[in-house]
Chain A
Amino acid sequence: MQNEPLTESYYYILLCLYRGPNHGYGIMQDTEVLSHGHVRIGSGTMYGATSNMIQKGWIREVASNDPADRRKRLYALTGAGRSALEDEIGRLHRLIEGADKVMDGGTAP
């Protein structure tokens, strides 16, 4: 069976970790920029999503190199998380391809 679509919060959290580890606040800020302010991830949503994704094995906690930053949880993408993100991007591409075919009046059935 095909995987369930990710929520926007899950999607952006994974996306914001694609280039390297980040902490919750950094993920929240990057998400606002990437989504042009359309997606906000509140603290309750962020805490729940990161806890769930750690359980799923999509992200993991890594130790911070900065001693002043010890208290902040730093997250990193795992191989499984990368696949989940890439699967979702593939799914979104297929959705848009379908829309493009219809909207352009081209080869749509």
Chain B
Amino acid sequence: MKERKFVTKYSVYYAWESDQEERDLDRASRSGLQLVHGGCFHSRFRRDAGAVYRYRIDYRRGIPDMMDYRAAFEAQGWEYVNSTFNGWHYFRKLYDPALPESEYEIYTDRQSYAEMQKRWSRLITVLGPSAWRSACSTSGSAFTTRCSTCSSVSWTY
């Protein structure tokens, strides 16, 4: 049977788990699944064992000029993958084992990384303390996904 060229995976990450999602995408890339469209609930991958990428996710809303934003990343060898409606942006770079890991960081100091986290955590505050409490206290039964966090909606299961 012929293997399908595209694969869809369903996964949900908390807003504060973008590091974990990056590691998962890198692992998928090593195993021959290359992200072609990242999303809040499902992501699309292309089968290609011929390349290994490093994936990085940025969070930023209200970008005045998307082409300028993309150009800032492309200048450093990043390929733009896609953006979600709520401000998460996926980039990838071909992995070269000869280069240091620092080549694959998009945030290179603590302050700017903290600012990025502050940008989405402000939106958790917008949800209000009760949503926050329920998201924290009943882990597993109620959660704030990267998606809901950023669009100010929370799900209860």
Contacts and interface: CB of A to CB of B under 8 A. Distances in A.
B75 A41 contact: no
Contacts of B69: 47
B90 to A, nearest CB: 13
Main secondary structure of the interface of A (DSSP, over half): helix
Interface string A21-37: 00111001000000000
A23 B109 contact: no
Contacts of A7: 109, 111-112
A7 B110 CA distance: 9
Given A7-B109, A25-B76, A28-B76, A44 B71 contact: no
Contacts, number: 64
Given A42-B76, A44-B58, A48-B112, A73 B107 contact: no
Interface residues of A, number: 22
A87 to B, nearest CB: 18
A71 interface: yes
